[in-house]
């Protein structure tokens, strides 16, 4: 009987699956045992994730049966991910035993870098999936055809970590340009961004700058063509310090210029404090954060505003409540933000954003998204009315007391519970 050899390095035993887990024997071992005889039916697994290379996992980890509905599964695998300070991603795999395996839960993590190609990332996920499922395979006794080899390596032979000359700083530069035209109109758009981030367990320091330049030209019946421009410039920064598992303090700031908002220059800064009801360490599954900030903003306008201002200083404060949860029954993300100017208390804004996905029954799931704002703080609106061209081309912010956006979805699937077979023909 052919043995299945899985090489597990010492760093995997801590619950983290870093790059060293990508040993050739791991990729070839468990993933190639499909030809070996089995003494029990394969475990049924429900993969619950957004973008986690599901097709690759089904094709590469072949000793499992993948089902479309959680109620048919022996193990529910919830995969979540967040961005790391270096620009990579940390994937968390939460294994939940069901039916006869109920009560057997565990969690594994694997971290990728921003420079890892897609193939490296998906193979790390496949390695983590194999490691997590080995525990369930042995629940009723170690299979006779399964062999495990653990390579710890002598401490004196392990390579020392290389020094980081960048001191955990990560920089990014992005840019794009587009040109579009026809006989009577032309459009040019330039977009760019710069960012610098330093993320450690105790500190979060981020700087980001974005700019957008859009020019449209129309040949109408008049002798001269009509040319319109829209410019957006923004620089944001954040410095935050961790104070244990529930508290954080910091400060945020912004420098902005926008023809759309009639803001020639705006400079704002505000110290802030945040409290998380749940420990920060459980961020991949749930968060309930309250954030309060108070500061001031200095503005200069392109045109005189409705209130007769060309420049002003605006003291303000804001309170935000953010909730995020992802469980086996679905996911929920919600945010409520209330802000107010302190020099005129009736100038305020209340915004709500929510998105949820819920598994109602076997094969049936529903989802909804809603964004709504109650607006009472449009201080930068120009005194003159917007021209028809500015309205049609969205060149000026228009006066409004509210905004909303609502969407709903319903999904129902039925048929075979299995979804292990991958057929890539015709690219579908």
> What is the C-alpha separation between 9 and 294, in angstroms, rounded?
49
Is the pLDDT at 244 greater than 60, yes or no?
Answer: yes
318 and 338 in contact (C-beta within 8 Å)? yes
Is the pLDDT at 421 greater than 70, yes or no?
Answer: no
Tokens representing 164?
Answer: 């980081």
| pLDDT tens profile 122-173 | 888 988 898 888 888 876 666 666 666 655 544 444 443 456 678 888 888 9
Please give the share of the chain, as a percent, with pLDDT higher than 70: 80
Contact residues for 393 (Cβ-Cβ < 8 A; gap 6+): 216, 228
State the average pLDDT over residues 340-344. Answer: 94
Contact residues for 66 (Cβ-Cβ < 8 A; gap 6+): 44, 45, 46, 47, 58, 418, 419, 420
- What is the three-class DSSP state of 35? helix
DSSP code, position 418:
B
The domains located in the chain, with CATH, are 4-154 (3.40.50)
The pLDDT, as a whole number, for residue 345 is 94
Tokens representing 25?
Answer: 């024997």
- What is the three-class DSSP state of 191? strand
Spell 151-170 as b/e; 16+ CB within 10 A means b: eeeeeeeeeeeeeeeeeeeb
């Amino acid at each position: 009987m052919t043995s299945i050899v899985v090489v597990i390095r010492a760093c995997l035993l801590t619950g983290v699956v870093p790059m060293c887990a990508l040993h050739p024997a791991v990729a070839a071992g468990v993933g190639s045992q499909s030809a070996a005889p089995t003494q029990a039916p394969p475990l049924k697994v429900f993969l619950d994730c957004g973008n986690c290379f599901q097709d690759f996992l089904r094709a590469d980890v072949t000793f499992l049966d993948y089902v479309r509905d959680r109620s048919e599964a022996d193990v529910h695998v919830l995969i979540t991910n967040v961005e790391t300070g270096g620009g990579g991603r940390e994937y968390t795999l939460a294994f939940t035993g069901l039916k006869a395996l109920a009560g057997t839960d565990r969690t594994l993590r694997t971290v990728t870098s921003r420079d890892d190609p897609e193939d490296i990332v998906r193979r790390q996920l496949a390695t983590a999936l194999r490691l997590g499922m080995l525990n369930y395979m042995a629940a009723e006794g170690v299979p006779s055809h399964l062999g495990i080899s653990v390579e710890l390596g002598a401490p004196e032979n392990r390579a020392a970590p290389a020094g980081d000359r960048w001191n955990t700083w990560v920089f990014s530069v992005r840019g794009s340009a587009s040109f579009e035209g026809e006989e009577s109109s032309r459009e040019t758009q330039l977009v760019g961004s710069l960012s610098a981030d330093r993320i450690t367990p105790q500190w979060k320091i981020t700087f980001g700058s974005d700019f957008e330049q859009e020019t449209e030209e129309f040949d109408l019946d008049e002798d001269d063509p009509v040319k319109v421009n829209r410019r957006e410039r923004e620089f944001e920064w954040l410095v935050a310090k961790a104070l244990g598992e529930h508290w954080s303090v910091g400060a945020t700031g912004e420098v902005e210029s926008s023809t759309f908002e009639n803001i020639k220059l705006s400079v704002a800064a505000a110290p802030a404090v945040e409290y998380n009801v749940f420990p920060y360490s459980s961020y991949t599954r749930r968060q309930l954060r309250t954030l309060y900030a108070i500061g001031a903003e200095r503005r200069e306008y392109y045109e005189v505003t409705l209130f007769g201002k060309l420049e002003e200083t605006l003291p303000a404060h804001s309170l935000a409540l953010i909730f995020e949860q992802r469980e086996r029954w679905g996911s929920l993300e919600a945010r409520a933000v209330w802000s107010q100017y302190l020099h005129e208390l009736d100038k305020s804004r209340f915004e709500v954003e929510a998105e949820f996905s819920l598994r109602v029954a076997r094969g049936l799931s529903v989802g909804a998204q809603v964004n709504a704002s109650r607006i009472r703080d449009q201080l930068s609106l120009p005194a003159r009315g917007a021209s028809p061209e500015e309205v049609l081309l969205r060149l000026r912010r228009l006066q409004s007391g509210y905004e909303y956006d609502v969407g709903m979805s319903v999904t129902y699937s039925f048929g075979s519970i299995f979804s292990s077979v991958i057929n890539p023909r015709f690219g579908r």
